[in-house]
Amino acid sequence: MQKLLLHPAAKPVVFVLCLLPLAWLVYATAANQLGANPAEALIRATGDWTLRALCLVLAVTPVRVITATPQLARFRRMLGLFVFFYAVLHLLSYGWFDMGFDLPDILRDIAKRPFILVGSLALLLLTLLAATSFNRAIKAMGAKRWQALHRTVYAVAGLGILHFFWMRAGKNNFGEVAVYAAILAALLGWRLWHRLRKDRVAAHRGGAASRPATPAARAKS
C-alpha cells in the first residue's frame, strides 16, 4: 500500500478521481438527467461535493495516524484545493443560475439570507487557505503562523454545516445535515482526543524526566 501511495501515477490518479463528480455533473446536464430543476440540482450538487471533499481532506490525518501510513500526507494539499475548486463551482452556479451574475443582487442576497452569508464566510476562509497552500506561502508566513491559519479549516467545517442546516431549516429536512455533522464531529473530535493524549504523554514524560530515577537518588534530592 505504501509503495502504491508513492507511485508517480498515484497523484494523477487521485486528481482524476477528484474530477469525476464534475465529469458526472457535466454529463448529467448534457443528458438532461438533473430532473425538473437542473439549475437547483447543480447548485445543490456542487455544495454537496464541497462538503464531501472537506470530509475527505479532514480524514487524511486520522487515517494517516491510525493506519501508520505517512505517505497519505502527500495528497492533502491536492484534496484541500479540490474543496476550494468545488466551492468555487458552487458559488459560480449560484451566481449564474440563481442571480444571473448580478453583483448588486448577490450582495443584497448575502445581506438578506443568513445561510448565504455563512456560506460566503466559509468560502472566504477557503480562498485564504487555497491562496496560502503553496510552499512559498509557508516559507513567507513561517510554519507556526501557517499552521494557525490552516486550522481555520475547522471553522470552515462548522460554517459549512451551519450553512447547510439553515438552508434545510425552511424544509424541515435535516437527515443529510445530521450525517455530515456527525462525520465532521468525529474527525474533529479525534483531533482533540489525539492532541490531549499527546499532551498527557508529553507531560508524563516531562514529569518522569525531572523526577530522580532511583529511591536513593530521590532520598538524596
Kindly list the residues in this chain that would bind ligand HEM in the complex (CB under 6 A). Answer: 40, 43-44, 47-48, 50-51, 54, 87, 90-91, 94, 98, 116, 119-120, 122-123, 160, 163-164, 167
Supply angle C-alpha 14, 89, 109, rounded to 5.
150
CB of 110 to ligand HEM, least distance (A): 7
| CA–CA distance, 62 with 53 (Å, rounded to integer) | 15
Outline where 31-152 has alpha helix (H): 38-66, 76-93, 103-112, 114-131, 135-141, 143-150
Q: Which is nearer to ligand HEM, 51 or 187 (CB)?
A: 51
Q: Which is nearer to ligand HEM, 71 or 115 (CB)?
A: 115
Evaluate whether 86 touches 64 at the Cβ level (below 8 Å).
Answer: no
CB of 95 to ligand HEM, least distance (A): 7
CB of 98 to ligand HEM, least distance (A): 6
Q: Which is nearer to ligand HEM, 65 or 114 (CB)?
A: 114
Residue whose entry in the numeric block shows the C-alpha cell 442546516: 165
Q: Which is nearer to ligand HEM, 66 or 178 (CB)?
A: 178
Q: Which is nearer to ligand HEM, 8 or 170 (CB)?
A: 170
Task: Collect all residues with Cβ–Cβ distance below 8 Å to 124 and sequence separation of at least 6.
Answer: none
Please, what sign has the CA dihedral across residues 174, 175, 176, 178? positive
Q: Which is nearer to ligand HEM, 100 or 207 (CB)?
A: 100
CB of 71 to ligand HEM, least distance (A): 27
Phi, psi of 86 (to 5 degrees): -70, -30
CB of 96 to ligand HEM, least distance (A): 11
CA end-to-end span of the chain, whole Å? 52
- Collapsing DSSP to helix, strand or coil, 131 comes out as helix
CB of 122 to ligand HEM, least distance (A): 4
